[in-house]
Amino acid sequence: MQTTVSIPGMSSAHAVRAVFTALAGVSGIDRADVTPGRAVIDHDGTVTVDAIRDAIAVVGFEIGEAKENRRTLPIAP
């Protein structure tokens, strides 16, 4: 499954790395492609938008819009 979130105000390389590191600590996330202002997260289907929001909040950012792509298949354990 894939979730895409916008992250307004995240523009520096340092911020991108901080968000990437925060997402890496969330159980169920397999891959995160973090770019300025956005993160595309591949996960096993157990990860909620709230868990993503909480992880990103730890490094000082709030998410804007979140879109879940349920057309992608969950990754089998």
Q: What is the C-alpha to C-alpha distance for residues 58 and 35, in angstroms, rounded to an integer?
A: 18
Domains (range + CATH), the chain: 2-69 (3.30.70.100)
The model carries a pTM of 0.87
Q: pLDDT tens string for the chain (77 positions)? A: 999 999 999 999 999 999 999 999 999 999 999 999 999 999 998 999 999 999 999 999 999 999 998 765 555 55
Q: Is 39:64 a contact under the CB 8 Å cutoff?
A: no
